[in-house]
Chains A and B, each alone.
Chain A
């Protein structure tokens, strides 16, 4: 058995691929190949001859890969999907995280486990990062809307900034609506009445 496993990372998202790459390196795997465009996945597997293939579930070439289980004459070594029947929890975790792994030529499950765990945690970390980014973006967006509404109220009712803000908050509380929703209504109304 080779001392270092060669891992092929198939991911159209270069940022996530880099995050996985880094995670696997930290876990001690250094022989890594990253590919993005996957029209030639079968050819890429023949060229790179990996021990493990890690693939994003959003990649449509999974079905082509599945067929390679049967037509192993395409490749020098047989490929199987990493499904450990005794460990359905890690399969579930992988699918939920959005990653799938394939092993080439009967690699032992014990050797596969740390790779899969690393990929799962990196996929989840990436998703969390993206969610946080989306959250930050929408918060910024909301603050801009509230500021605009505040400006409108200040102008129309001749109020100070603090007074305008207090009025918006009071209205939101009385109506049991979110501050940003009140802000949106004010902006829409102001545009209609312009």
Chain B
């Protein structure tokens, strides 16, 4: 019997395994009729999962933890039997700001401490000349992107939200926000950095891997009690996604992989923009050649194990960003969101 599952996603390269599970037929092979729905906000994914309009959702790991803890006004307990990727984000600033940073840099801009110090120098100069503070964006408050921005800024003692204004801009609007000057820079998942560079408005400063390797990013979230209530559905979707992972890791499949993502009801973006990202070849802008970033985004099986340890980094990030005040029971609750028990050989 075929089981119908509706899964929501945001248009980002890291939704790939869900898309491939459907479009390469892995879900069907597991007896699933997978219906994919593109969404416009993480809030919608959370709320539609919460009222069962979705069975599962492509979700930011930190958003799953925030919803489970009830931080940010909404309590919607979630469980994660599987991650969807590791890494794959980048920090991009406007071309103009990049040129200013490069002039202020004392050393190689590829060094995250050098670039962070250049940014601190820019912040100080603007303050001294009475210019408004810089604004940086992430795609959601509760996101690895926010915490990576905080980590980068901390290298030169800057605090996000204090020294630099913080704004939330949904992924598809990042290019427009940079073009209009509403934000000076952003941290977002692929392909939105490449999109800003290709549009001639952005210059990539760092890949997320420059700051942190094997960084937790998107996960597959279910309603918390569904793991016990509907174990067969969870196992089938997990199995389909693991098969998609094997397929995605074969370099020979990349052209076809890029075409699936490019479809109008998936990312609706040109193949030419997506394929280089899948080859880890990142356009940088500001007159620099593309950069090859080894294992820029991980889709391999080992990357998909939901690690309770990731919750510790996420909670630390939330605390640093001023999103939570830690209480003793938080750590256990947050760790329990990641459930390796459903991962093959993954009993924790």
Q: Does B300 contact A (CB under 8 A)?
A: no
Q: Among the listed stretches B13-21, B47-55, B286-294, B335-343, which one makes contact with chain A, having 4 or more residues with CB under 8 Å of it?
A: B47-55
Q: Does B311 contact A (CB under 8 A)?
A: no
Which residues from 140 to 174 on chain B have a C-beta closer than 8 Å to any C-beta of chain A? 140-141, 161, 166-170, 172-173
A70 to B167, CA, bound (A): 12
Q: Which 7 pairs between the two chains have the least Cβ-Cβ distance?
A: A67-B141, A60-B170, A62-B43, A67-B168, A64-B168, A92-B51, A60-B40
Q: Among the listed stretches B69-77, B115-123, B208-216, B233-241, which one makes contact with chain A, having 4 or more residues with CB under 8 Å of it?
A: B69-77
Q: Which of B43, B44, B50, B322 contacts A70 (CB 8 A)?
A: B322
The residues of B that contact A66 with a CB separation of less than 8 Å are 42-43, 72-73, 140-141, 168
Is A96 a contact of B53 with CB atoms below 8 Å?
A: yes
Q: List residues of chain A with CB under 8 Å of any chain B CB.
A: 39, 42, 57-67, 69-71, 80-81, 83, 85, 88, 91-92, 95-96, 100
Q: Does B182 contact A (CB under 8 A)?
A: yes
Is A63 a contact of B42 with CB atoms below 8 Å?
A: yes
Is A71 a contact of B161 with CB atoms below 8 Å?
A: yes
A61 to B172, CA, bound (A): 11
The residues of B that contact A60 with a CB separation of less than 8 Å are 40-41, 170, 172-173
Q: Does B323 contact A (CB under 8 A)?
A: yes
Q: 9 interchain pairs (CB within 8 A)?
A: A58-B40, A60-B170, A62-B43, A64-B169, A66-B43, A67-B166, A83-B75, A88-B51, A95-B47
Shortest Cβ distance from residue B49 to the other chain A in the assembled complex, whole angstroms? 10
Q: Does B139 contact A (CB under 8 A)?
A: yes
A92 to B47, CA, bound (A): 9
Is A70 a contact of B41 with CB atoms below 8 Å?
A: no
The residues of A that contact B140 with a CB separation of less than 8 Å are 63, 66-67
Shortest Cβ distance from residue B166 to the other chain A in the assembled complex, whole angstroms? 7
A60 to B50, CA, bound (A): 18
A100 to B167, CA, bound (A): 21
A19 to B180, CA, bound (A): 32
Is B74 a contact of A70 with CB atoms below 8 Å?
A: no
Is B51 a contact of A85 with CB atoms below 8 Å?
A: no
Q: Which of A63, A71, A85 contacts B41 (CB 8 A)?
A: A63
Contacts A92-B51, A96-B53 given; does A71 touch B166 at CB 8 Å: yes
Is A39 a contact of B182 with CB atoms below 8 Å?
A: yes
The residues of B that contact A71 with a CB separation of less than 8 Å are 141, 161, 166
The residues of A that contact B48 with a CB separation of less than 8 Å are 95
Q: Which of A64, A85, A96 contacts B167 (CB 8 A)?
A: A64
A70 to B322, CA, bound (A): 8
Nearest A residue to B171 via CB reads: A60
Is B53 a contact of A70 with CB atoms below 8 Å?
A: no
Nearest B residue to A57 via CB reads: B44
The residues of B that contact A42 with a CB separation of less than 8 Å are 167
The residues of B that contact A64 with a CB separation of less than 8 Å are 167-170
The residues of A that contact B50 with a CB separation of less than 8 Å are 91, 95
Is A62 a contact of B51 with CB atoms below 8 Å?
A: no
Contact with A along B310-348 (1 / 0, CB 8 A): 000000000000110000000000000000000000000
